[in-house]
């Protein structure tokens, strides 16, 4: 009788342990899904986005709809058309493969030009109150771009039309930012998410 009771207790404990393990596994899978597909927390390195973001600032990034890195296949996988608006802050992989945050200045099919230290989009000068007071936008320098072979980025000049699927991304701290002026227009598959909150 005692042996039978012990066996029953053992089965009950095993069932309870199995249920807890299942719940924990489902919770871990959910967290992994959120991390890969929906949400990321990122710490800013450097001051290229000052005064909006400083070195050490924390940004919360929404990844839903943006490209996934398919490292097994050596490419990026874009599973839907992401919603990217002008002046959004986006997280993307630069030429060196590092994650960085910049501001969307030009959208696909828009015509950009840099004149007298200012950015014009479709012949309209941008009012850039997010840049440091008195800052200017220096001309593009493609030296960084030219050192990289088979780059998916597109070199930019003083002016031009942004091709479909590409974005002009600049740092707010314009005089101290390595951005599209150096590494070129950014393909949409390199953009990993949009900043929705920061501190």
The catalytic residue positions are 48, 102
The maximal CA–CA distance of the chain, rounded, in angstroms, is 94
Buried b (16+ CB within 10 A) or exposed e, 114-129: beeeebbbeeeebebe
Nearest by Cα to 56 from 70, 65, 43, 71 = 43
Report the half-sphere exposure of 96 (CA within 13 A, side-chain side): 7
Q: CA-to-CA distance for 73 and 51, rounded, in angstroms?
A: 38
Place of tokens 């030219």: 146
Going by their DSSP bridges, the two strands 89-93 and 191-198 should be labelled as antiparallel
Q: CA-to-CA distance for 147 and 99, rounded, in angstroms?
A: 19
Instruction: Quickly count: other Cβ atoms within 10 Å of residue 52's Cβ.
Output: 18
Report the half-sphere exposure of 74 (CA within 13 A, side-chain side): 0
């Amino acid at each position: 009788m005692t042996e039978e009771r012990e066996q029953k207790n053992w089965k009950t404990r095993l069932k309870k342990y199995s249920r807890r393990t299942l719940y924990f596994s489902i919770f871990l899978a959910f967290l992994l899904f959120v991390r890969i597909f929906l949400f990321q927390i990122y710490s800013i390195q450097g001051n290229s986005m000052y005064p909006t973001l400083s070195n050490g600032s924390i940004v919360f990034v929404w990844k839903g709809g943006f490209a996934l890195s398919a490292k097994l296949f050596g490419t990026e996988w874009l599973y839907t058309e992401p919603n990217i608006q002008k002046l959004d802050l986006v997280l993307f992989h630069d030429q060196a493969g590092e994650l960085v945050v910049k501001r969307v200045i030009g959208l696909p099919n828009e015509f950009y030009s840099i004149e007298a230290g200012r950015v014009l989009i479709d012949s309209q000068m941008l009012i850039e109150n997010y840049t440091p007071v008195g800052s200017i936008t220096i001309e593009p320098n493609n030296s960084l771009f030219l050192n990289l072979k088979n780059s998916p980025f597109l070199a930019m000049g003083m002016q031009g039309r942004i091709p479909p699927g590409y974005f002009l991304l600049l740092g707010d701290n314009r005089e101290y930012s390595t951005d599209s002026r150096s590494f070129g227009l950014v393909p949409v598959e390199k953009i990993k998410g949009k900043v929705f909150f920061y501190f």
